[in-house]
């Protein structure tokens, strides 16, 4: 069986280390962050996976796409962060401007979202809302 791969066009954001949170070696070298890959199993749907990971369904698959067991989904990552000493997950979320619930779900970290020093946390690259510019009102 040939696996279909769903890819999402992304702009990779390179983030430097902040405070006690450090970027992984790939990020430190300025390289792209390796995406997260998931192999679809029977019963998976774009909406169920989106709910499981706390991301929009459009990030999982193109609208109207049907997933089959064996398909590979690629989720772009903004960063992989190594948790530093006395670092809380909410600090990381605040720094990358992603909700605590999204990062918790994406990394299977249940509330109250406790992380350990040295733990690697993936930050999904969330789509941004397009800015709507209103034309200047004339006379």
pLDDT above 70 (res 133)? no
| Pairing, β 72-75 against β 5-6 | parallel
* The two three-digit tokens of residue 40, written as one number: 């679809």
Note the pLDDT of residue 25.
42
Residue 42, pLDDT above cutoff 60: yes
Query: What φ, ψ does residue 22 adopt, rounded to 5°?
Result: -120, 150
Q: Which of 125, 127, 89 is nearest to 109 (CA)?
A: 89
> CA dihedral in degrees (72, 64, 57, 26; nearest 10)?
40
pLDDT 10s digits, 76-127: 999 999 999 999 999 999 999 999 999 999 999 999 999 999 999 999 998 8
More confident residue, 59 or 27: 59
In the chain the domains, ranked by start, together with CATH numbers, are 5-124 (3.10.350.10)
Banded pLDDT at 129 (limits 50, 70, 90): very low
C-alpha to C-alpha distance for 54 and 77, rounded to whole angstroms: 14
This prediction's pTM: 0.67
Cα-based angle 90, 96, 98 (whole degrees, multiple of 5): 65
What is the average pLDDT score of the chain?
78
* 24 to 20, 29, 44, 51, 74: CA distances (angstroms): 13, 9, 30, 27, 20
């Amino acid at each position: 069986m040939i696996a279909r791969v769903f890819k999402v066009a992304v702009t990779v954001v390179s983030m430097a280390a902040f405070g006690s949170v450090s970027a992984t070696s790939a990020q430190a070298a300025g390289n792209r962050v390796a995406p997260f890959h998931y192999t679809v199993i029977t019963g998976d749907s774009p909406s169920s996976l989106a709910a499981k990971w706390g991301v929009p369904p459009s990030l999982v698959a193109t609208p109207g796409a049907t997933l089959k067991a064996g398909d590979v989904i690629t989720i772009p990552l903004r960063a992989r962060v190594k948790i530093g000493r006395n670092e809380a997950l909410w600090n990381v979320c605040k720094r990358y401007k992603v909700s605590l619930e999204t990062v918790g779900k994406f990394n299977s970290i249940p509330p109250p979202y406790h992380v350990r020093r040295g733990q690697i946390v993936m930050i999904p690259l969330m789509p941004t809302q397009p800015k709507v510019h209103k034309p200047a009102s004339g006379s």
